Structure 1
Amino acid sequence: MALAAPPTFAATPAAAPSPATAQAPTAAQAPTAAEVPEARAANRRVGYFTQWSIYDRNYFVKNLDTSGSAAKLTHVNYAFGNLDASGKCFQVNQAGEGDAWADYQRRFTADQTVSGQADTYDQPLAGNLNQLKQLKAKYPHLKVHISFGGWTWSKNFHTAAATPESRAAHVKSCVDMWIRGNLPKLGGEPQGGAGAAAGIFDGVDLDWEWPGSEGGPGNVVDPADKANFTALLQEWRKQLDAVGQELGKSYEISAFLPADPKKIDAGFEVPKVFGLLDFGTIQGYDLHGAYEPTTNHQSAIHSPAGDPHPEKWSIDQTVNAWLDRGAPADEMVLGVPFYGRGWTGVPNQNNGLFQSSTGPAPGRYEGGFEDYELLKARAGSFQLHRDGQAGFAWLFDGTTFWTYDDPTEIKRKMAYVKQKALGGAMVWSMDGDTPQGELMAAIDQGLGG
């Protein structure tokens, strides 16, 4: 499949001025670890594992183990489950709609499994779900959430949330499939059946992009979805509590939440939402990208001096927007990217920052997008630049510009998380890290693991 971390902001920025230096101080300086006072523990380390990483990237659930990342994570969010046109959970092997083969049918070889043992043809559960089951057996502290939606698969949330009846049917179908583990047998394969995936998931993650405002193709924009999202969470809480009481287990609810204050206001009754969530992961990336013509930083802590974009997007702006609307700091988990965004055809001025471009920089999997592991491998042909005041790094070779986070910038962000007493860090996505898990190690070290 070709799903990826999606661009979220696509507004065309104003024409870029030519600031004298990319290192100019900003009004609010990004913290260093030494400057952070003691605050409430930032306990959550949430990593998204993508269904499709097992293909071109050859990144398996096993890699969470061998990289050392599984020992540092508290949660793994499995991305994504899709909803059908009626808003119900379903499984299918169809391009653009679902990949049951990756989820629970593919038999992995011994070198691809957490256990080190090859899957057999007729075992009732295979694929990524069986590997998550093995990972949890090795790391009992881990909680695994099934994440629904994403940029590409959010279009049917509107229908799911529209009425009390549709909400009840949506949640029941998803609980049956993902929590109770009742998977359909498809295409003559032996995997699936009643309870085949029972006990794997400890909660759900709602990644509706976005209630009440525009998102990917086919999304419905309806002001009623602001209240409907709250009602959907209420239905999830009701049914998860009921099945939890039946099974003697407590289930969590998380949600992926937007960076743009306008999207917050359009789609989220903030105090009510956080009253129903165990935690929310806050978008801290895709603030800029090659879907805009001018180079900028996708994940700056503070808006840098000379930023030509009229909205001055930054992590701090986003965090404060949620706090100002009533979100509890210790339930906000800051999202960080394990990838970069890039432009090419950039003039050799101001180290490439805030300059025009001719389009997205070439990337292995997608134009304008590159995993951290690949950027690190090619960094020797680029000049590394940092802004320690606003908190970001970039690579520039005279014509191509990449905005990204390395271990130094990750630790700077974790200092910010602690300074703001936030609830931890989230990663999109784990397959962008090195085989040694160096970015995850930086998160763990930065949060005091």
Structure 2
Amino acid sequence: MSSRRLRNRLAVLAAAALVAPLALFVSPAAAEETDAADLTVTYVESARWNTGYTGEITVHNASGTDLTDWTLEFDLPEGSRIHELWNAALEGSAEDGYTVTPPRWGAVVPAGGTYEFGFNGVHTDGNSHLLDCTVNGSPCAGEPDEGPQHGDLSVAYFTQWGVQERDYHVRDLVDSGSAEKLTHINYAFGNVGSDGECFMTNEPDQGDARADYGRAVPASESVDGAADGPDQPLRGNFNQLRKLKERYPNLAVSVSLGGWNWSEHFSDAALTPESRERMVSSCIDLYLRGDLPVIDGAGGEGVAYGVFDGIDLDWEWPATSGNPHNVVRPEDRENFTALVREFREQLDELGEETGRHFELSSFMPAGPWRIDTGYELDEIMPDLDFITVQGYDYHGTWEDSTNHQSNLVADPRDPGAVISTETTVQAYLDRGVDPRKIVLGVPFYGQGWTGVEPGPEDDGLFQPATGPASGTYADGTEEYRNLKELTGFDLYRDDDLGTAWLYDGETFWTYDDETAMTQKTDWVTGNGLGGVMIWSIDGDDANGSLMNAIDAALGG
């Protein structure tokens, strides 16, 4: 990456004798009234061949005043340079950075309109996007949003499969207003193979490299309104996350490794010093150094550098049962400690090399028995920036009776063994975990049963069921955005428990609405915890209603 040299940031004033007739309709005084904050720039690589490519740049003027004088400055990634440019004037170099101004015949950016120009460039298989881009001294992506100012963590899981299966895109984080309320995004998930290394593939049920960085995102789904070029090496969700971070520079993005389906090989990968070193090195190379394998024309060495800021470990679960295909060993507990240490050491080495801090977090279970069997908390917590603790799935349709899935405290009506957020968090506190390092997980979905009798309270709670309720994507679960649209149901809640449920005399859904989400977040702040984690952000509605409730309760 070339370093920016000191440049003259004064706008170039076009000489009246050289202004084309189109530009004569605008007086200099009117042009000066255009605020730089109203200007943005989008870029797309429209073609690529051998060592060359074509880039197209569009200057957007959102103001009510035509603009004749503008200056665009940017760098290109290492290995890329401009060969020729048309419909604008170019100065500079790949080493010193580029400055683009209107051509000698003038170039009006009309009020509410755009001006486009392009160039041919040279590449070395890497990215060609604009770096450190400014237009009239302001960031090309618009004035950056600094994110939440309340000091707590707000962490959302963004699912790899949500784009295709749920029509939820990175851009929806912006359109819903949720992006500005988040401190972290955990991208779910990265897979670890039978060889103990992180990998990419398009093999079904093993990976989706196309969604990650192969799919050419159209302009209508893009964070900045510019489509992915069909041949550029970084496309898909990764490129959209990169664009999102340009707009929200304080937003940290981590890749979450494992999850319920992809924890199968963690025990093998963590088994020996050699296997741990190999796993960690492969994950860092793939995600943090950004060395993506070339699949269907996308990928390459270093093309995803800067997309991710850390690693989130989601091994479900060390030394205890998870997915039936998992390898489980009693020594997973000690090996997880060693794996965390290996990650921390290699992340710190990369940090010294790059001048950055790379975060390390871990998703942790509810239930003291899983904690004691799988984790040496006193050993791992110094190496983790924070942990996210499961605050949901306390009950669900693997059971044959209705219950709360995310109650804060014990329900005195519960006839069975009680699990709650209070008992879960207290288990971590009792084992010496700093409360500020605990981020409570909350659900943006519900668990549902059908064939449910009313019971003595006529509300369906704690009653036998005949099976899981029908859901949009899977029986037994439903997203909040769909649950809120159900008709014919009565809403019940318990304010002490921070719970809500829906019941229509036959079907029962336990879920969190805006009120329950506020109650949970108030509980988090009242108990001095570090913040709130969401599984998963695609369950919210188009207005980001649940995210708004969390942010307001955190003091946003």
CA contact (8 A) 2:498 2:517 kept: no
Tell me which residue corresponds to 1:447. Answer: 554
**Deviation larger for 338-347 or 266-275:** 266-275
CA contact (8 A) 2:259 2:316 kept: yes
- Pair 1:309 & 2:419 matched: no
Counterparts of 1:410-425 in structure 2, within 5 Å, are 410-425=517-532
Equivalent-residue separation in structure 2 for 1:54 and 1:130 (angstroms): 14
Equivalent-residue separation in structure 1 for 2:217 and 2:523 (angstroms): 40
Equivalent-residue separation in structure 1 for 2:498 and 2:445 (angstroms): 16
Tell me which residue corresponds to 1:292. Answer: 399
CA deviation string 1:71-124 (max 9, x = no partner): 000000000000000210001101110100000000111111101111111111
Q: Which has the higher helix share?
A: 1
Q: 1:340 aligns with which of 429, 446, 454?
A: 446
Unaligned runs of 5+ residues in structure 2 are 1-149
Tell me which residue corresponds to 2:19. Answer: none
Counterparts of 1:331-410 in structure 2, within 5 Å, are 331-349=437-455, 350=457, 351-378=459-486, 380-410=487-517
Q: Which has the higher strand share?
A: 2
Structure 1 counterpart SS, 2:165: coil
Q: 1:99 aligns with which of 208, 231, 239?
A: 208
Q: 1:218 aligns with which of 306, 318, 325?
A: 325
Q: 1:173 aligns with which of 276, 282, 294?
A: 282
The sequence identity of aligned pairs, in percent, is 53
> Amino acid of the residue matched to residue 233 of structure 1?
V
Scaled by the length of structure 2, what TM-score is found? 0.72
- Pair 1:230 & 2:337 matched: yes
> Amino acid of the residue matched to residue 338 of structure 1?
F
Equivalent-residue separation in structure 2 for 1:223 and 1:325 (angstroms): 20
> Amino acid of the residue matched to residue 438 of structure 1?
S
Scaled by the length of structure 1, what TM-score is found? 0.89
Structure 1 counterpart SS, 2:326: coil
Counterparts of 1:187-266 in structure 2, within 5 Å, are 189-266=296-373
CA contact (8 A) 1:42 1:417 kept: no
Tell me which residue corresponds to 1:47. Answer: 156
Please identify runs of 4+ aligned residues in structure 1 that moved more than 4 A.
none
Shift of 1:190: 1.7
CA deviation string 1:262-315 (max 9, x = no partner): 0001101112121110000000000000110010010000111121222x0111
Shift of 1:433: 0.2
Structure with greater contact order relative to length (CA < 8 Å, sep ≥ 6): 1
CA deviation string 1:414-436 (max 9, x = no partner): 11101110000000000000001
Shift of 1:42: 5.7
* Cα distance, 1:307–1:42 mapped onto 2, change above 3 Å: farther
Structure 1 counterpart SS, 2:194: coil
Q: How many residues align?
A: 405
Tell me which residue corresponds to 1:319. Answer: 425
Counterparts of 1:263-282 in structure 2, within 5 Å, are 263-282=370-389
CA contact (8 A) 1:149 1:208 kept: yes
Shift of 1:364: 0.4
Equivalent-residue separation in structure 1 for 2:203 and 2:226 (angstroms): 29
Instruction: Name which one, 1 or 2, has greater alpha-carbon Rg.
Output: 2
